[in-house]
Amino acid sequence: MRRKVNEDAAYAGPGLLAVADGVGDQPHGDIASRTAITTLADIPFTADPAADLTSGVAEISTRLDDLGREDPAMARMGTTLTAMAWDGYGFTVAHIGDTRAYLLRAGELNLLTRDHTMVRSLAGDERPAEGESAGHPRRSKLVRALQSGAGADADLFRHDAQPGDRYLLCSDGVFMFVEPEEIRETLVRAASPAEAVTRLVDLSTLAGGHDNATCVVADVVAPSREVPREPLLLGSAREPGLLARLTGFGRLARRPARTADAAAR
């Protein structure tokens, strides 16, 4: 079974990767996640991605507040957000909720973000919590999200990248149904980000995933390597996934401005 409404939204461009998932226990999660992604896609990123992401998250919060004031049905709508802004050497990561960012480096899968969930806070450390995967009933109970009327309290941190890194951003519809070892193997084996995305979405569907499964996969490549431009694809259970390739590692001093029409719909 899949949700009738896709509550996930995502963006992949040369300077920004982002996945958002509407909060499930409130209506209009699809509008909330889309608001988060389109707001970030509109930001003219500068030499200070941390400041840009901070103001971007604040802007999302303001827009959600405004929508909630205009329509009482949207008064509590919310979304998770995992966004990574590229600066040529690494990422600034903004994260709130239970979408995730993973790094595959030297064959090892590293979780870069920490879920803001009940189960995760009870666990109280960085190790996987009991019942964190396999659809634990309280797993997706969020303790933090970008929510109308609730302020903006996202984690913000810098992460250094290396050529050869492969990054995965995904919604819980992926990691709830695909085991970490399967995610790792898929990222190791896939010849391209596109292949990884397609395979991960397929695996979630095969595992009986009853949630939207959305991925963004990006490779960091050395500046000398010629990288063919691949199309951007939107990914969710039935559709192909999002992908991006980061080019110009260590050379891309400033990101070019993004245009809104590249945003995921």
Residues that bind Mn ion (CB under 5 A): 21, 171-173, 211
Shortest Å, Cβ 64 to Mn ion: 18
Nearer to Mn ion, 21 or 87 (CB): 21
Nearer to Mn ion, 81 or 161 (CB): 81
Nearer to Mn ion, 87 or 172 (CB): 172
Nearer to Mn ion, 90 or 173 (CB): 173
Shortest Å, Cβ 99 to Mn ion: 8
Token code pair at residue 73? 């049905």
Shortest Å, Cβ 264 to Mn ion: 15
Strand order in the sheet with 100-105: 108-111, 100-105, 166-170, 215-220, 242-246
Burial code (b: 16+ CB inside 10 Å, e: under 16) for 148-162 equals: beeebebebeeeebe
Shortest Å, Cβ 170 to Mn ion: 10
